Amino acid sequence: CGWLLVCWAGRVAASPSGAAPAPPDPPLIAPALALRLAERAVAENFPDADTVLVADHTRVLYRPDGTSIEWNEEYTKVLTEKGRRSARTRSYGYMTQYGRVHLLEAEILRADGTRVPVDLEACSREMVEPSQIGANIYDPNHKVLTLTLPGLEPGDLTRLVVARTTDKARVPDTWSDYTVLEYTAPILWAEHAVLAPAERPLAVLRLRDEIPGKVS
């Protein structure tokens, strides 16, 4: 897999608190790149995989007060029936006192080139996170937003665009985040970018076990 982590400083625009961000324009991932990579995501190349993360891009924009907007665009190739069952439902957890998750776009790309848009309102459901009951916890602010992709079949390519808004920083005037640079399926291409305000840039960058040419 190939990961690229990019950080830069610039002017950060404000947006209404709690408002759903617009989808990125242009898209975070060039469609031609995703389709070219998807051609490599076949069972012969990944015999032990049920799905392949073809392309993934996350862009985080944070403000001096610690609030932020995060966009993610993802292409996933379904290889097997087991992969179809796991990929047809996606869940996104969040805490309502800090922010929201917004489903922006979803579609299924068939092998014949047909693009099938997903009705986000009809195919999504928001509820209190049910798994916390197992830990004898019930916090109504802990929500999960679930999206179902109807009609998904092995061989299909899914495209999802999701945004997270942080409307209240956990620590005032401090932005915090983390990302895991690995996945449960093969990764062909992934990028994580951070846009920092010029007046409050990232102060510390620590890298362990550097892989030359992979992080800049």
Going by DSSP bridges, is the β-strand pair 68-78/157-166 parallel, antiparallel, or unpaired? antiparallel
Position 106 scores a pLDDT of 98
List pLDDT tens digits, range 59-98: 999 999 999 999 999 999 999 999 999 999 999 999 999 9
Q: How far apart are CA 69 and CA 60, in angstroms?
A: 6
178: confidence class by pLDDT, cuts 50, 70, 90: confident
Indicate the length of the chain as a whole number.
216
Instruction: Identify how many contiguous H helices and E strands the chain contains and give both numbers.
Output: 3, 10
Q: What is the pLDDT of residues 29-60, one digit of tens each?
A: 999 999 999 999 999 999 999 999 999 999 99
The three-state secondary structure class of 98 is coil
Residues 165, 11, 199, 17, CA torsion sign: negative
Omega prior to 26 cis, within 30 of 0: yes
Handedness of CA 86, 33, 55, 126 (dihedral sign): negative
pTM here? 0.86
d(CA 22, CA 10): 20
